[in-house]
Amino acid sequence: MAKELHDWRLQPLPFALIDKAENILHSGVASLISLAEQLRKAKKINLIVAASDVTLLNMAVPPLSPEKLKLALPALVENSIISDPATCHIVAGADIQGVRRVAVIDRAWLSTMISAVQKLGVKVSHAYPAQLCLPLHANSVTASVMETADKADLSMRWTNNVALGIAINKKKNSDSKEDDVCRALLLLAPKELIRLSVEVDRAQAYSAAVSRVSLTTDNIKHAEINKIQIIPDDWKVCLSEIKKSEIDLMEGSSTLLRERESYAIWSLPLALTTLLFFLNIVALHVDWWRMHQEQKQLTTSLDKLYKKHFMQAAQPDQQLVKLQEKLLSLRQKKGNHAPEDFLSMLANTSTAWKKISREDKKASSNSLINNPSLMTAQAITKITYSNAELRVSMKSSMAPDSEQAKSLLAENHLYLQRNEKLSEANSSEVVWNLRVKP
């Protein structure tokens, strides 16, 4: 999975489908996109990351707690890598006599790989460096090569457990990628026996490349010692080494992927909450509409029932007005005056009018401010009373300001409403409708 590829998901990659008993059900080379359907059915996915994307270091590390070790690792690897440690994901292996194996990989690239697989609907459980999936053999170097269209990714592992990975781009003057891989192997391991694992259908091509490179090597003396054995790939060997691997690149990757996974985690609860909210809103509106229709039907049925049994009676609202008039009449006969009675309203109006005539600008300009009675006699033309409402008609030329009068009438528990219709019909008069303030 070399990160230089424009879209590595479309590149052919080796894969193996394994059951619970670790029997290989199916293996081959295919792109990640074409394997999407099989990935969704798999319960667990393990990634083998290209060796050229992972730097492995054997470092002397002081004994530290896991929390302090995590903080110290960027400073420890800073002088051993070219990249900025702040942009790298760093995983440390077990402490063996004060020495730890440390894996360093670009954080953004690892996050991209994992999220690309998880977008297909499956969670990545583990991720291992490819060079640690090679078996260890005494007095020999183990290597494997994974080819793409224009390059080869070479993984190597020595007897002393030193491992590395390099990406070999095809040279212009080179006959083939196989020759470049063999030359790189002889350059990196000049005196050791090399066991090179390749795909079954590529074994013959690499055997021919070994012969060509051995014959054209400059050092004939070492050509007898340099031996490259071509071995077909075997997933069973890889799986057995994965079990022994002390480095899992998914370790500590929860914080790496937390932001990417947070939206996926909450998407279903948020969708359900939104759906429940809208269902409740719809249910409330439907219930309101049903109750509104029931109210209309009940009102109609009551009205029909009333008219059926009281054909000669007046309408209910008229009956209420008549009942109020009767109560008012009985109260007046007993000498009890309610605030909405004519005499009570007239008295309150008279008290408020005195204040209005003193403060009104028209009255002062007409020299009537000191004589409210004279102003009342000249300004007011008619007073009528009906249904607890006092109607006062006055000359428009001497009518006080209605907005100013409202506050003074309110002090006497009266509410003023100017009758615009009557005032427009007779422009020489202004009509005030007064009611008891509720």
- The residue type found at 259 is E
126: nearest Cα among 296, 250, 33:
250
Residue 374 placed within a domain: yes
Coil vs helix vs strand at 111: helix
d(Cα 145, Cα 166) in Å, to the nearest integer? 10
Domain with 366, as residue range(s), is 342-436
pLDDT tens, position by position, 52-96? 889 888 888 888 888 888 888 888 888 888 888 888 988 888 888
How many domains are contained in the chain? 2
Give the pLDDT of residue 40. Answer: 79
70: nearest Cα among 246, 243, 244, 253:
253
Residues 6+ apart with CB under 8 A from 306: 313, 316
Ranked by mean pLDDT, the top range of 136-150, 245-259, 318-332, 422-436 is 136-150
Q: Evaluate whether 345 touches 436 at the Cβ level (below 8 Å).
A: yes
pLDDT tens, position by position, 308-322? 777 655 566 666 677
Boundary-marking domain end, from 227, 252, 277:
252
> Is residue 100 domain-shared with residue 232, that is, in the same domain?
yes
Boundary-marking domain end, from 218, 252, 286:
252
> Is residue 220 domain-shared with residue 361, that is, in the same domain?
no
Weakest-pLDDT range from 88-97, 146-155, 197-206, 248-257: 248-257
> Is residue 230 domain-shared with residue 371, that is, in the same domain?
no
Residue 305 placed within a domain: no
Is the per-residue pLDDT at 294 higher than 90? yes
d(Cα 53, Cα 62) in Å, to the nearest integer? 27
pLDDT tens, position by position, 219-243? 444 444 458 888 888 888 888 888 8
> Is residue 217 domain-shared with residue 357, that is, in the same domain?
no
pLDDT tens, position by position, 102-124? 889 988 888 888 888 888 877 88
Average pLDDT, whole number, for the chain? 79
> Is residue 111 domain-shared with residue 242, that is, in the same domain?
yes
> Is residue 157 domain-shared with residue 15, that is, in the same domain?
yes
pLDDT-above-90 percentage for the chain: 5
Give the pLDDT of residue 282. Answer: 92
Is the per-residue pLDDT at 434 higher than 90? no
Residue 320 placed within a domain: no
> Is residue 229 domain-shared with residue 358, that is, in the same domain?
no
Burial of 131 (0-12, 13-18, 19+ CB in 10 A): buried
Give the pLDDT of residue 367. Answer: 47
Residue 137 placed within a domain: yes
Is the per-residue pLDDT at 10 higher than 70? yes
Residue 337 placed within a domain: no
Residue 284 φ then ψ, to 5°: -65, -40
Residue 159 placed within a domain: yes
> Is residue 235 domain-shared with residue 348, that is, in the same domain?
no
Give the pLDDT of residue 433. Answer: 84
> Is residue 122 domain-shared with residue 236, that is, in the same domain?
yes
pLDDT tens, position by position, 328-357? 677 667 766 677 777 778 888 888 888 877
> Is residue 246 domain-shared with residue 346, that is, in the same domain?
no
Output the CA torsion sign for 166, 110, 127, 201: negative
Give the pLDDT of residue 376. Answer: 64
CATH code: domain of residue 110: 3.30.420.380
Is the per-residue pLDDT at 137 higher than 80? yes
Structure tokens that stand for 52 in this block: 């050229």
Bridge partner residues of 384 (DSSP) = 391
Residue 280 placed within a domain: no
Residue 93 placed within a domain: yes
Give the pLDDT of residue 271. Answer: 86
Boundary-marking domain end, from 204, 226, 252:
252
Structure tokens that stand for 364 in this block: 């002062």
